[in-house]
Amino acid sequence: MTVGAHDPHSRAFWDERYASRERIWSGEPNHQLVEQAASLPPARALDAGSGEGADALWLAGRGWRVTAVDVSAVALERAAARAAEHGDEVAGRVRWEQADVRTWSPPVAAYELVSAHFLHPARDVLAQVVGRLAAAVAPGGVLLYVGHDPSDIGVVRRGRPELMPAASEIAQLLDRDAWDVEVAEARPRPGTDPDCHAVLHDAVVRARRRHWA
């Protein structure tokens, strides 16, 4: 096992996980991204924790210019190969970047959409991660932060409760003088994991940065 592979947030852990199978995820964009972003006009987007690239390619296919960031180089190589299958027009709208979002700082006010699905950083860095992602949203833009809702733990999924905050906890990390929180709740979606066909729940936060903040 590679040094550092025991850390479930590390590059070594995710490189080994992605390398262990031809594909880890479904290949479809995340349900909550489609629900929350389909009506947004395409502009600049950041996909934080982009994995095998399904979300980034869905956005690019709708005209967004996407920066897709993930800790795993293996995942990014796989995503770039899949992007090539979508043709030059779509592939050309995505820039793939390897970085650990626990410590990486995106450019400030650079994106009309910042989307982060299932990052689940440790509690001691959660506020910093959310804060840096929020700072990357341009005035009038949207932050979409989605995690596994803690209500599912022990019912339809395994997990560590301390890594799965409720949507209300994420929303409280945003400055209410600068943000309008449009959604902060648990939302259902059908399970796509081969071992789980139940209805799952995601902690969904969608917030819009005020133009005057």
In a domain? residue 14: no
pLDDT of residue 186: 95
State the amino acid at position 125 in one-letter form: V
Residue span of the structural domain in which 53 resides: 28-209
Q: Which whole-number Å values give the CA distances from 118 to 3, 20, 28, 146, 176, in the listed order?
A: 24, 20, 15, 6, 23
**pTM for the whole structure:** 0.89
Query: 101-121, pLDDT tens digit by residue?
Result: 999 999 999 999 999 999 999
Percent of the chain with pLDDT over 70: 89
Say if 13 falls within a structural domain.
Answer: no
Position 181 in a domain = yes
Amino acid (1-letter code) at residue 72: S
Residue 108 in any domain: the answer is yes
pLDDT tens string 159-171? 676 778 999 999 9
Indicate whether 18 belongs to any domain: no
The number of C-alpha atoms within 13 Å of 99 and in the hemisphere containing its C-beta is 16
Q: Does residue 72 fall inside a structural domain?
A: yes
How many domains does the chain fold into? 1
Above 80 in pLDDT, residue 65?
A: yes
Query: For position 178, which CATH number holds?
Result: 3.40.50.150
Average pLDDT over residues 76-80: 96
